[in-house]
Amino acid sequence: MSQLTHLLEGFIKSPVKALESVLPSTNEVKKFLSFDLDTKPIKEKYYYMHRHWLKLLHDYYFKVEHVGHFNEVKEVAAGEKVILISNHANTLEGGIIGYNFLVHDLGIVNFLVYKEAFRLPFIRELFKTAQCVPISVENGKEALKKNHIMLFPEGMDFIKHYVQQDYIVKFHKGFLRIAKEYLHETKQEAVNIIPVGHDGIDHTIKFWIINNDFLVKNFIKPYLRYPYFVLPKAPVVFPTNAVFNWGRPHRVTLEDLKNEKSMGRLSSDFRHDIMRLKGRARKIRQMDQEVPPESR
DSSP structure class, residue 128 = H
Residue at 53: amino acid letter: W
Distance CA 248, CA 269 (A): 13
Rounded (10°) CA dihedral 227, 224, 162, 280: 100
Beta bridge partners of 246: 68, 196
Q: Coil, strand, or helix at residue 133?
A: strand
Residue at 2: amino acid letter: S
**Domain definitions of the chain by residue range:** 1-33, 37-204+239-295
- The pLDDT value given to residue 228: 61
Distance CA 282, CA 200 (A): 8
In this prediction the pTM is 0.79
Distance CA 15, CA 118 (A): 36
Q: Coil, strand, or helix at residue 29?
A: helix
Count of residues making up the chain:
296
Distance CA 98, CA 102 (A): 6
Q: Identify which of 101, 185, 79 has the alpha carbon closest to the alpha carbon of residue 142.
A: 185
Residue by residue, pLDDT tens for the chain (296 residues) are: 455 566 566 656 666 565 556 555 666 566 666 777 888 878 888 899 899 999 998 999 889 999 999 999 999 999 999 999 999 887 889 999 999 999 999 999 999 988 888 888 888 888 888 899 999 999 999 999 999 999 999 876 565 655 555 555 678 899 999 999 999 999 999 999 999 999 988 777 666 666 667 776 776 667 666 666 666 665 555 667 899 999 999 999 999 999 999 999 999 999 999 999 999 999 999 887 766 655 55
Q: Under CATH, which number does the domain 37-204+239-295 receive? A: 3.40.1130.10
Pairing of strands 109-113, 132-134: parallel
Peptide bond into 235 cis (omega under 30): yes
DSSP structure class, residue 292 = -
Q: Identify which of 86, 105, 49 has the alpha carbon closest to the alpha carbon of residue 242.
A: 86
Distance CA 198, CA 57 (A): 15
Q: Identify which of 109, 105, 96, 82 has the alpha carbon closest to the alpha carbon of residue 243.
A: 96
Measure the CA angle with vertex 283, ends 277 and 287; round to 5°: 145
